[in-house]
Structure 1
Amino acid sequence: MDNQVSLDDRTSFAGAASAPEEQAAVKPATWRDFVHLAKPGILFSNLITAVGGFWIASKWDIDGMLMLWTMLGTVLVMASGCVLNNYLDRDMDIKMSRTKKRATATGAVKPGTVLVYGITLGVAGLAMLQFLAASSLAALLGLLGLFVYVWVYTAWLKRTSVWSTVIGGISGAVPPVIGYCAVTNEIDAGAWILFAIMFLWQPPHFWALGIRRREEYRAAGYPLLPVVHGVFPTKISMVRYVVLLVPASLLLYMYDYVGEIYLFAAAIMGLIWTFMSVAGFRAKDEDLWAKRMFMYSINYLTLLFLIMVIDTNGL
C-alpha cells in the first residue's frame, strides 16, 4: 500500500500567486477568512469528542473551570493544526475545486501571516492546557496530536503514501483523550478505548470523501487509497475499520463507563454503518453511496458522543 506518486509536475504556488491576472482577482482578507482557515466544522465535531472524553472521566462530577480551560486549549491546538495544514497545502489546494477558494489558495492571506497565526494558536492552546487546565499530560497529548497532524500527516505522508489516512488518524484520535486525561491525569483503559473509537472511525469517514473526490485528488497529486489502488480495495478497507469499530465502541459499556442506552445505541448505529459499508459492493452509483457514507459517518460520531455524555455512569 506504500505506493509513491510523483509531485514534480505540480504547479508552484508562488508562481501562480505572482501572476498579474490572479493578483488582480485577489480580494482583501476579512475576519471570516481567518475563521475559515481554522476549519470551524472540524473544530466543532472534534470538540464534541473532547467533551465526551472529559465527561465520562468526570462521571458527572464536573469541574466547570477545568472543563472550560481544557476545551478552549483543545480547540486552539486543533485550530493551530488546521491553519498550519492550510499553510502547507496551499500549493495543492489551488488544484481542487473544494479547496481552491481558501484564503491561502487565493492569496487573500499571505503565507507568512498564516504561519504566524497557526503557531500562535498552537502556543496559546498548549499553554492553556499546561497552566490553566494544569495538566502536563493533556498538554503533551496536544503537542503529540499537533506534531502528527502537521509534520507526519500534512508535510510528509499526505503527499507520498496511501498510509497517510491511517497514520494521520492518530492525531484525530487525540481530542477525546485530551479531555479524558485532563480529569484523570493518566492514560488508562478509558483513554485507550476513546482513542480506538476515534482512530477506527476516521479512515472510512475520509475514504468516503476520497471516493467522491478521487479525480480531484488524482489531479492534485495526492496518493489517496482510492486514487492509487481503486475504489473496490478502498471499500474492503472501509468495511474492515467499521467492523472493528462496532465492538470497540461497546467497550465503554464493558468497562462500566456508560449505561445500557449507550450500549444499544452504539450497537444499532454501528450495525447500520456496517450494512451500509457492505452495500457499497453492489452500489450502482458509487458517488451517491460514498456521499451517504460520509454524511452518516458525521452523524454517527456526533450522536455516539452525545449519547455517551447523556448516559455516562455517575460516581
Structure 2
Amino acid sequence: MRQHQNRSLKERLSNSAFCHFEQRGELPCIVVQHPGFTASLLPQGAQLLSFCPSGDTSWIWLSPTAEYQQGTSLRGGIPVCWPWFGNADKNSPEVQAAMAEGQPLPAHGFARTNRWTLTRLYEAADRVEIDMSLPQSHHIQSVWQGDAELTARWILTPTSMEMQLITTNTGQSTLAFSQALHTYLPTTDINATRIGGLSGHPYIDTMTGWQRKQQQGDVVFQGETDRIYLQQASPLRLVTPQRTLLIHSRGSRSTVVWNPWITKAQRLSQFEDNAWQTMLCIETANAADDWVNLAAGANHCLSLRLTVE
C-alpha cells in the first residue's frame, strides 16, 4: 500500500516545475525548490518541515534529531493537531462526545501521524500552492466517530507562508472539535525573544494547575512555558535576534505558547538537551474554551500566515 502511494506521488510530481519527491528515512517528502523560496513537507501528517525565502534561513524550526518514522510525528515543523488538541480528557464534553470509548486516544488526535493524499498542486512564477486531504480510514473511525473531510492547504510565496486547515462536516448532526497548527519557530536566543500582541489577554497557565491569569506586557521566557491564550489577537509579533516575524491568524480565538526549558527538554524525544534555547512554539488554535461547533454541511477554516516586518 505504501509503495503504491509513493509511486503515485512520484508520478504526480514527475512533471512539476518546482517540486520533487525525496525519501527521508521511512517517509516520503515533497521538496519545493522555487526561485524565490524553498520548502519541504511530509504527506504523513501533512507536516510542513521548512520554509526558507531565498537569502534567508528557515522561518520554521525542525529538530536536528528528528526521526523520519512511520506513525510518529516529527519534532518540529507544523504538526496538525486534529480533531482534538492536547490530551483527550482535557477537552470539553462536546469535543469528547465523538471520541471512541474504551480506546487509548493519542495526544493531539490522529491527523499528525496518518498519511495524507496530495490532491492539488498549482505552480506559478510568484507562488506554489499545495493541497492535501486526509482519508477517513478504518484506523481513524476506531478512535473517533465524527464525519468530516479535512484539507490542508499551503500558499507559499517569496515573502509569505500561509497554511489553512479546512474541516467540512459531512455528517447529519453538529460536530464539535478542537485543533491547532502546532508551529515550531526558531530563535538564536530564547532569552532575547519576546511575543507582542497578547498584553491584557487572559490565559490558562498549565504550569500552575490550569490557573487563569492575565498577560502583562510582552510574553518573555524565564522558565518552562505552557499557556493557552484566549481572545486571539492578530497579528502577533515574534521578535528574535534574527528577525521580527508577524503571525496572522483566522478562524482562531486561542493561541498556545510553549517552551520546555531545561528539565523537560531532557525528557523529550527527538530533542537535544539544549534545543530549548533556540526554539519556541506559537500555535494557532481552537483550544480550551475556543472549540469549534460546526453545523452539518458547514466548513471551518483555521489559518496561519507568516510574514516579516
Q: Which band: TM-score by shorter chain?
A: under 0.3
- TM-score, normalized by length of structure 2? 0.24
| Higher RCO (C-alpha 8 Å, min separation 6) | 1
Q: Point out the structure with max Rg over C-alpha.
A: 1
Q: Give the structure with the higher percent strand.
A: 2
